[in-house]
Amino acid sequence: MDLVEFLKIFFIGIIEGITEWLPVSSTGHMMIFERFFPLGFSDAFVNLFEYVVQLGAILAVVVCFWKRITPFKTEVEGEGNIERRKLRLNKDALSLWAKVIVACIPAVFAFFIDKLLEKFVSGKTEVVMVACALIFYGVVFIVVEILNKNRSPKISEVSEIGYKTAFLIGAFQVLAVVPGTSRSGITIIGALLLGVSRVAAAEFTFLLAIPTMIGTSGYKILNYFINGNTLAAPQISALLFGSLIAFAVSLFAVKFLMNFVKKHDFKPFGIYRIALGALVIVLCILI
């Protein structure tokens, strides 16, 4: 792998690490980057790379929320020299995982929609779709925040999210199959519309990403090899390096967003999406 490819993968890892968690569409950003700086690999591998690099970002969420999501916890019993540590089930974590699993159920429909889009959407049409989705949901973010300005959230903590609300949030996630929508963005919008606070909405979105993205990446990997493709040393290096960069950057991105939404709303992200979408349209006209 030469220096140019190395730098491309480095920047893609940074883009994935930031945009996967901020509601601005990681797929859209990577698509735009790769349109101007295409990777020197086969189309099949590039498609695989875009999904596998997400696993690095997912690992960052696991690290950041480990105490919240681990199914076991250690409790200390006794005093002084007779203290004993016992491993017990973390009931709060198990309850949370049950809700996350319920939220993943609608993803089955997303799989079929995604396969349909792959057949009919490609090239410049896909780029225009990304631009339109960026602008549309940017406007939606601003409108939702305006509507919620004088409303108090019904649900302030992730633990207060019920199974029905979790399922409905997961249903919003289906819309993320449209390039440029943003998986995190649409689930946050859905959660806000359902009366969930910004902090709880962002946290639940992060947790929902774990099984969703692992499942999607796993499917892409399996499909890659079923179609007779193989991985050579440069490709393996690209996957590992891109995932490592995405992991490191995601650690900061997740913490940044969680701290940001405690004091601010999502309007700045809406404005950014609209500006980026408009820029993409202009570039499509000029190029």
List pLDDT tens digits, range 105-156: 988 777 777 666 666 666 667 788 888 999 999 999 999 999 988 888 999 9
pLDDT given for residue 76 in this prediction: 66
Structural domain contains residue 79: no
Structural domain contains residue 241: yes
pLDDT given for residue 77 in this prediction: 62
Residue 163: CB atoms within 10 Å: 13
Rounded Cα distance between 63 and 11, Å, is: 22
CA gyration radius, the chain: 20
Q: What share of the chain is helix, strand, coil (3-state, %, to 5)?
A: 75, 5, 20
Pairing type for strands 72-77 and 84-89 reads antiparallel
User: pLDDT digits over 144-199, tens only?
Assistant: 999 988 888 999 999 999 999 999 999 998 888 888 888 899 999 999 999 999 99
User: What one-character-per-residue DSSP string does 9-36 give?
Assistant: HHHHHHHHHHHTTTTT-HHHHHHHHHHH
Rounded Cα distance between 209 and 160, Å, is: 19
Structural domain contains residue 123: yes
Residues in the chain: 287
Write the CB contacts of 23 (distance below 8 Å, at least 6 apart in sequence): 137, 141, 182, 184, 185, 188, 189, 266, 269, 273
Higher-pLDDT residue of 62 and 122 is 62
The DSSP symbol for 106 reads T
Structural domain contains residue 245: yes
Full-model pTM = 0.86
Task: Provide the domain count of the chain.
Answer: 1
pLDDT given for residue 283 in this prediction: 79
The H or E element that residue 74 is part of is strand 72-77
Higher-pLDDT residue of 287 and 243 is 243
Structural domain contains residue 209: yes
What range defines the domain where residue 131 resides? 3-73+84-286
pLDDT given for residue 224 in this prediction: 92
Structural domain contains residue 78: no
Q: How confident is the model at residue 208 (pLDDT cuts 50, 70, 90)?
A: very high
